[in-house]
Amino acid sequence: MLGTVTGAVVGLAAITPAAGFVPPLAGIPIGIIASIISYYAILFRMKRHFDESLDVWACHGMGGTWGALATGIFATAAVNAAGADGAIMGSALQLIKQLAGIASVWAFFFLVTLGLGKLIDATVGLRVGRPEETVGLDISQHGERAYGGLLR
């Protein structure tokens, strides 16, 4: 069940940038490729032991990045006259524009996240200590057990 929900979220994250610019059937390869990319991004994160809740980077970040790139591949002015044709319709220029947009968004969010992380670390701290993490944040930070003891 969890894999199905995650797959649906990845598909939605991937089609969102392209939704008003690609034909409906383009959503199928966009969703399939997004799920494959996100799956391997999750494996990469797990292998590297990155602490990242809910796989937001793998699902939304990588799936959304693919969706933005796919817009440059599958877009057609027949769907949205205010848009442009993508690579499949003969315009590699739109794909290049999408790549430039992706690069600028990645750079912006990397720098902002790095800056905010350093600011938080310098003021209140970014992580709790090993004992607090081992005991659990519900007990160490809030003085109570979450979930009524259902989870161990």
Express each pLDDT in 35-66 by its tens digit.
Answer: 999 999 999 999 998 878 788 999 999 999 99
Rounded (10°) angle between helices 2-15 and 63-74 = 40
Name the one residue in this structure whose structure tokens are 């790139």.
69
Q: How many residues does the chain have?
A: 152
Other C-beta atoms lying within 10 Å of the C-beta of residue 14: 31
Question: Does residue 150 have a pLDDT over 60?
Answer: no
Assigned token pair, 55: 């796989």
Domains of the chain: 2-149 (1.10.3430.10)
Helix/strand/coil percentages in the chain, nearest 5: 75, 0, 25
**Amino acid 29: pLDDT:** 96
Question: Does residue 147 have a pLDDT over 80?
Answer: no
**Amino acid 8: pLDDT:** 86
Q: Which residues are CB-neighbours of 67 under 8 A, at least 6 positions away? A: 13, 14, 15, 16, 17, 18, 30, 34
Radius of gyration (Cα) for the chain, nearest Å?
20
Whole-number Å distance between alpha carbons of 96 and 115:
29
Question: Does residue 148 have a pLDDT over 70?
Answer: no
Question: Does residue 113 have a pLDDT over 90?
Answer: yes
Q: Which residues are CB-neighbours of 136 under 8 A, at least 6 positions away? A: 145, 146
**Amino acid 132: pLDDT:** 87
pTM for this structure?
0.82
Question: Does residue 121 have a pLDDT over 90?
Answer: yes
When pLDDT is cut at 50, 70 and 90, the band that residue 139 belongs to is: confident
Question: Does residue 9 have a pLDDT over 60?
Answer: yes
